Structure 1
């Protein structure tokens, strides 16, 4: 692999830009990359305050606190209990770099602040077009060091599926960046934390400049050589409405041609994403020339949309698509549902953390995870009643998983010992999301046919068994579960 690293200084700019051109030539042997990133190691005697979002910022422990005897390594090596930190305020906390991961779409500006003197060090990313895995892929940002990262490709929260693999004779080239390393400061009497607000404003400035005009490489495509795509996405679920509904808030993007949903496992090309407006209209701008598939997923609806035709972007092209209609997976009316199909486990119960395994930043915070120290194959039960059953018809169970790590979900109906089970996912996933404190990894969904003969009038129980139990970090997180009646019927039930 050739890696051409470049640094750019502009007159009057408080910082510098960096980007790299990666190239694998056709005459070279196979090669893999599982992670690539920019990393800056800052002075530990100066930079003590980390900020990655408005509600995710704090003073941080020192790197010395992680080393024995000050730190005690836990079940996962990145997690260390601070038993005798230099600053007593951190005593008893657990430090882990994965506690500061963010989704790609939210990694726009992050960094560190020195209070004496008041100086900020920030990495600003005006576009995520060069990151792998789509807008919801999670990446590391900053962690104890003090360390500042800008990750472009990573197998975290996905495993082998997001490792870049190049075969012998495979020619490839890609530009990662530029990103802006921004430095700001205040007089000694200023409030150092206000440097975060200034850095956010600088991100807005940089975003308006994108795509940058200064890169000298012919491999970076300037604004006048890029194209645009616009249109409207609608969703048609006839069991909710006879009319098409606007796909409000849909994630809509372009990625290299592939199968339905392939964007979340795509690593080698560029991706361009936006969110649909309330009326379903969308616009994607500044797209590099090339051939793309248009993909989408809509919060509140299962599955993935893919436009039937490949879209060719040429320099300065402006493409307007007709109304696009997505029909999500559905075989019949809803009998009951659990959760919201949003590709996360947000609606499912997470207990309060063990006080011996906490980071105080996340007390009473929506991002939290705990582990009670035990593990085994587990079975969840969904109990429900049916006031009528048609033994001659087929019912449907829709199951969406927010993540899986070396797990197998077996589904049984009214018999916990049924062998073979009604359905099994087989062993799936290497996301390692549980160990990394995540609420989602790669998304999986399954449509399970349920014969009416397997159901009972009155009480019924669905058994969801996660059968793998070699490690405490194995498991799945559920996104959404829905039980559907046969297509002709109307639901009459209670859960």
Structure 2
């Protein structure tokens, strides 16, 4: 299961003789071969075969291998665009998108661009999603791979619909691609798809998760395989893929920009998983629920370009370590990012760099209970997204978003923004809440807009009496237990992402079999004593019960004429409810209830965050005692073991003129 040694490999990759990549190979022109039922793009390095007029990638020939895609699969199940859609109120329909009209858009020795269009009319109502879909494939001279993008277009007079997911899928040869890489420390030899067949695996709490009981490779026996263990945040999913050992070939999916993805930088999506399968996810409800399902009503036009993404192929010489291919793929990813936005897509719906605008500025934070001076918004996430309220970007799924991370002095630059109207949003690690600039920002071609200094005033009523956790929109800093030894993925043993192990939700009941968590301010340590998720407890009869956590603290002084403020930031919620009571656990009515919230499913899917929630609870001073106090946090929903909350950060503030008050 060992990882590639990055330093050693980088040194070796720097030798141009170690990798047979496009810079050291001859670069003949691109040629197009149109046949009756298929079309072939060939630049002398890669040959890509697509069905005509469907636009399904049926073959990828490279480095002497006739087809890197799974030849045992039907041609329609190798490389394809797909989506899940539904009419309002109906069930989702899975659709492999097949074109009905084929066109050559560009054909010369430098570039070939092909179009496979499926048009919609009212005779197709109920059968296909009401969209015109234009899938494009591009091959360039000297390029060790190919590009794909698509234009989705819904006319105002067409019927309403919802789209739950859309993506590109590639299924590779299982006899060759055995090693998967999605990060420097997230690489491993993977199970085969055969290992998920009856007799070789045991299905666990949901179909995606299985325990390997009789795998083809005995070394994998006892491990859990679950595609959700390999999810990542949008901001981190730039390159991932597979390595074949014989011959040493890499197949990589590179996404150079997040602008066409939904939900912002922290939205989680699938990457690669057993198949061997690699994905480019553009829209999905994973780790968010229905909030991230675009819903289009009557009279609502919509057009969006997804991509381009790059399918990159590389190879190593005989005898060289195939792990070099990962290092080279990262270098190629950085090259693609530098080239964005590409100048070669032929569609006018994809604006080039000179047709876009730039925005820059500096973000500062004003919190006088932290500092009398303004604080630089160090490493703040700053973005432009469609108009909405503060924080609306994380639920936005129809338009384009453009995000960057400020430097250590709070300066940011958002480049190559499509024309249109946006709000500027931000959130700052170390501070709660969301920033939104009041003015609408209109981006026009060639605009270079300096916004100067911007000031974010995070929610604050008074001095901090106590706090738990770190305000970073993640529950990763809390206690994540070791997994049950019977259900492990060895990749995540002694790994920073230990939360990706299967079944951690069940450990709560083992650690707290009868009484719930009690956290004492000034004594307890959130890294050891605050369980990462408030989940139901499983009872002996197999049912579950809600849980109530306690925060115990002492106050030396209470102003009963004033209100105190309890800030509760949640990193995730799944069909859960947060109830707050103060000093009376049996109070019939809680001081605060969130009601039923969230469909993130992050607990079951090994995510440490989903959608962010911030609740600001007024606590009357009459409810507090000079001396001992207890806040009770109840999550009563318990129909499923996966219902629950992940906390990001909690803080109790005193009134404005209140002394620190803690004993």
TM-score between both structures, scaled by the size of structure 1? 0.99
1:64-106 deviations in whole A, cap 9, x for unaligned?
1111110111111111011110101111111000000000000
Alignment match of 2:274 (pick from 123, 141, 144)? 144
Tell me whether 1:195 sits opposite 2:329 in the alignment.
no
Aligned to 2:240: 110
Mapping for residues 55-454 of structure 1, pairs under 5 Å: 55-367=185-497, 368=499, 369=501, 370-372=504-506, 374=538, 375-454=544-623
How many Å separate the matches in 2 of 1:348 and 1:381?
16
In 2: Cα distance, 1:441 partner to 1:4 partner: 32
The count of residues paired between Structure 1 and Structure 2 equals: 494
SS of 1:202's partner is helix
> Runs (4+) of structure 1 moved beyond 2 Å?
371-376
- Counterparts of 1:54 and 1:364 in 2: how far apart (Å)? 15
2:178/2:243 contact within 8 Å kept: yes
| Post-superposition CA distance 1:424-466 (Å, at most 9, x none) | 1100000000110000000000000001110111111000011
Q: Secondary structure at the match of 2:331?
A: helix
Q: Larger relative CO (CA 8 A, sep 6+): 1 or 2?
A: 1
Q: For 2:306, what is the secondary structure of its paired residue?
A: strand
Using the alignment, how far apart are the partners of 1:366 and 1:54 within structure 2?
A: 12
Shift of residue 376 of structure 1?
2.3
The residue that corresponds to 1:468 in the other structure is: 637
Q: CA deviation at 1:62?
A: 0.4
- CA separation in 2, counterparts of 1:407 and 1:335? 27
Question: For the Cα contact (< 8 Å) 1:354–1:371, is it kept in 2?
Answer: no
Indicate the residue corresponding to 2:523 in structure 1: none
Contact 2:260–2:399 (CA under 8 A) maintained in structure 1: yes
Q: In the TM superposition, what whole-angstrom CA distance separates every residue of 1:116-161 from its partner, at most 9, and x where no partner exists?
A: 1000000111111000000111000000000000101110000000
What is the DSSP-based 3-state SS (H/G/I as helix, E as strand, rest coil) of the residue aligned with 1:195?
Answer: helix
Contact 1:332-1:488 within 8 A present in 2 as well: yes
Give 1:40's match in structure 2, choosing from 158, 170, 179.
170
Aligned equivalents of 1:371, 1:255: Cα separation in 2: 35
When Rg is computed on C-alpha atoms for both structures, the one with the higher figure is 2
Q: What SS does the aligned partner of 1:197 have?
A: helix
Q: Is the 8 A contact 1:408 1:428 kept in 2?
A: yes
Say whether 1:486 aligns with 2:655.
Answer: yes
User: 2:558·2:661 contact (CA, 8 Å) conserved in 1?
Assistant: no
Judge which range, 387-396 or 468-477, deviates more: 387-396
* Aligned-pair CA distance for 1:266: 0.3
Please list every run of 5 or more consecutive structure 2 residues that lacks an aligned counterpart in the other structure: 1-130, 508-537, 539-543
Partner residue, 2:42 = none
Match of 2:66 in 1: none
Q: Is the 8 A contact 1:122 1:182 kept in 2?
A: yes
Contact 1:250–1:296, Cα closer than 8 Å, also in 2: yes
Among candidates 9, 28, 31, match of residue 161 of structure 2? 31
Is the contact made by 2:316 and 2:324 (CA closer than 8 Å) also made in structure 1? no
